[in-house]
Amino acid sequence: MNISTYLDDIAKPFQRIAPWILRLVLGVSFILHGFGKFPLPPEKLVGWFDSMGIVAPQIVSSLVALGEVGAGIAVILGGVLGRIGHLVTRLGGGAILVIMSGAFYLAHSDWFITQELFMSEQIFLFSLGLYFAIKGNN
């Protein structure tokens, strides 16, 4: 028996839960990030958006917080909702892409294809969102 076959045998019982590890980490992370902005409107985010000239910063910052919570819930619940869950997971992953793209553009525009980007947790959140937007529950 070679090492690859041996590792396959060890991993086989865990293959069904592997996507759940990613799903739960991403979902919980987004839920916590969103809840961290409550109560609405999130005053720190409102002030920051206002200083950047964002139109309606109270509404936009509240939508960001609600979007983070909603996207996290969608990624997790999508895994248990049967046929519609595939769509829910993809929409949650897509929402994460939109939120993270906004974060890159507004907060980290100087990171584009730099070492800072690839050393940050944000690139992993973006990548996991992309994964679920593409794969859904497949």
Annotate the chain with three-state secondary structure: CCHHHHHHHHHHHHCCCHHHHHHHHHHHHHHHHHHCCCCCCCHHHHHHHHHCCCCCHHHHHHHHHHHHHHHHHHHHHCCCCCHHHHHHHHHHHHHHHHHHHHHHHHHCHHHCCCHHHHCCHHHHHHHHHHHHHHHCCC
Residue 15 lies in a domain: no
Per-residue confidence (pLDDT) for residue 117, from 0 to 100:
72
Per-residue confidence (pLDDT) for residue 22, from 0 to 100:
95
| Per-residue pLDDT in tens (0 to 9) along the chain, 138 residues | 699 999 999 999 999 999 999 999 999 999 999 999 999 999 999 999 999 899 999 999 999 999 999 999 999 999 999 899 999 999 999 999 999 999 888 877 776 777 777 777 888 999 999 999 999 999
Residue 66 lies in a domain: yes
Per-residue confidence (pLDDT) for residue 113, from 0 to 100:
73
Number of domains composing the chain: 1
Residue 31 lies in a domain: yes
Residue 110 lies in a domain: yes
Q: How many residues does the chain have?
A: 138
From the list 38, 39, 29, the residue with the least C-alpha distance to 100 is: 29
Per-residue confidence (pLDDT) for residue 108, from 0 to 100:
73
> φ, ψ for residue 131 (rounded to 5)?
-55, -50
Residue 40 lies in a domain: yes
Per-residue confidence (pLDDT) for residue 105, from 0 to 100:
85
Residue 12 lies in a domain: no
